[in-house]
Structure 1
């Protein structure tokens, strides 16, 4: 009876040992799987962090470039406004100088007149007397004339040529003249001299003439082939 109990006890012990070994292997396998998953998650987190750092870097560079571009545009706009103001001030000073010259001319017993259509002769009235002009006064009449621009000829030239665009202007006082292309003043003389022209030089050129009486403009087409 005792000899039958020993094999049964040994088999029970072996069964328990086998179960413990299987359980231990399962735990080890689970730990390995969890570790592998954690390593994968860590790698993904590192990659996401790297991408985030790159995104922040690119964003900072983009913001910096945008800021520099805005500053450059602001400087360009300010310079353009200053140039226009300077040009406008120059014209105003010129017109004021012309007005001062005319004022001095008037103070020197000379007469100024404006050319225009004759009006109807008025009734002198019963007490009218003939107007006498002292012989010592020089009756010089300086007539004011608004600017007039002669004919502007459209011009065709070849690439590499030198071209002169002429703006014949008359008027009293002598008009202030400038050439404009695409809204930008390209010359302040009646003759616009262009050297080594190319296709980018083509376009409409407007001559502007003005004095204290008025202003006139005319446009010609320059075609570079």
Structure 2
């Protein structure tokens, strides 16, 4: 793969997560998969999460420390709360939910019920739930990359390389590249119509190309 895939991780202990992700990066590189990562560890960074363009977002299950404003939310569930907020604005970017000592019985420094996990899998469409062991995390990231939304990734790359001033036309109506990106992330009717037109154009092109052969 020639593309370098972008990962954003939300973690209150970047000093411990950074060597883990560095090892993951090296392991994936051996498989020909290139990644770059950014760790957001402060409230101001987390508040701007929706502005980060990335292929995969990783949420630490349990967040703690002075850098976070938990408001009325339980500290042990704050990672889950942030995850749900993110999904309100982005329905398609792959999400990996992790913890240093993940288990399913509520022990440790987080508190999630069986019903929470049902929501995580079915409603929030979390791609993977894992701990921070390098082999497991590497496998989860590689699998997520293999199943990325190609239209969304291509649009993000287009804006990154050429800016957000372009205009697209969907059913005769103009829409800016940046707005279309948001529609794709949310999976709205406009975004899905654009996706349908893209796939239809690609299929038509290959049908014509095949006919010329």
TM-score tier (shorter):
under 0.3
Which structure: larger Rg?
A: 1
TM-score normalised per structure 1: 0.15
Structure with the higher strand share, 1 or 2: 1
TM-score normalised per structure 2: 0.16
